[in-house]
Amino acid sequence: MKNHNCINCGNKLLGRLDKKYCSSNCKNQYNYNRRKNTKFETRGIDSILHRNREILDTIMGPKRFKMEISKTELSLMGFQYKYITGIHTNSKGKLYHIVYNFAWMEFTEQKVLIVKNRKLK
Ligand SMILES: [Zn+2]
């Protein structure tokens, strides 16, 4: 038979088998710890991604939605190419690397194209 214990403190649970906690206190504590753990385990990569987005945002400025930039220049600003939030191949087979509301695409050997807030077609 399956154990029926509070997943936070391990106390035996009485009543319904789908109950997971012995009290709302245990429920809150369990969820708090889980969130804290996620925050801790993801902070390194999160900050790299946030930095990547900030770099693209800074380069692009408020008015542009598309531009070319040299790969080296982007690297020198601290951009880390391998950290992306998604990937998209458009109808022409071009591979876009998504970083939140931005995306970049390898344009030539030395250059990348950056786009902002666009539907990637
Ligand atoms: Zn408990």
pTM: 0.80
| pLDDT over threshold 70, residue 2 | no
Cα of 43 to ligand 1 centre, how many Å?
A: 29
Q: pLDDT higher for 112 or 120?
A: 112
* Token pair listed for 45: 């990569």
**Model confidence over 23-72: pLDDT tens digits?**
999 999 999 999 999 999 999 999 999 999 999 999 999 999 999 999 99
Q: Average pLDDT, stretch 6-23?
A: 91
pLDDT for 5: 94
Cα of 109 to ligand 1 centre, how many Å?
A: 58
Q: Locate the domains of the chain by residue range.
A: 43-116
Distance CA 109, CA 6 (A): 57
Cα of 39 to ligand 1 centre, how many Å?
A: 23
Q: pLDDT higher for 1 or 5?
A: 5
Cα of 6 to ligand 1 centre, how many Å?
A: 5
Which conformational region is residue 46 in: left (phi greater than 0), alpha (psi within -120 to 50 degrees), or beta? alpha
Checking DSSP bridges between strand 86-89 and strand 66-70, what pairing results, if any?
unpaired
Nearest Cα to 56, choosing from 27, 79, 37, 32? Answer: 79
Cα of 27 to ligand 1 centre, how many Å?
A: 7
| pLDDT over threshold 90, residue 119 | no
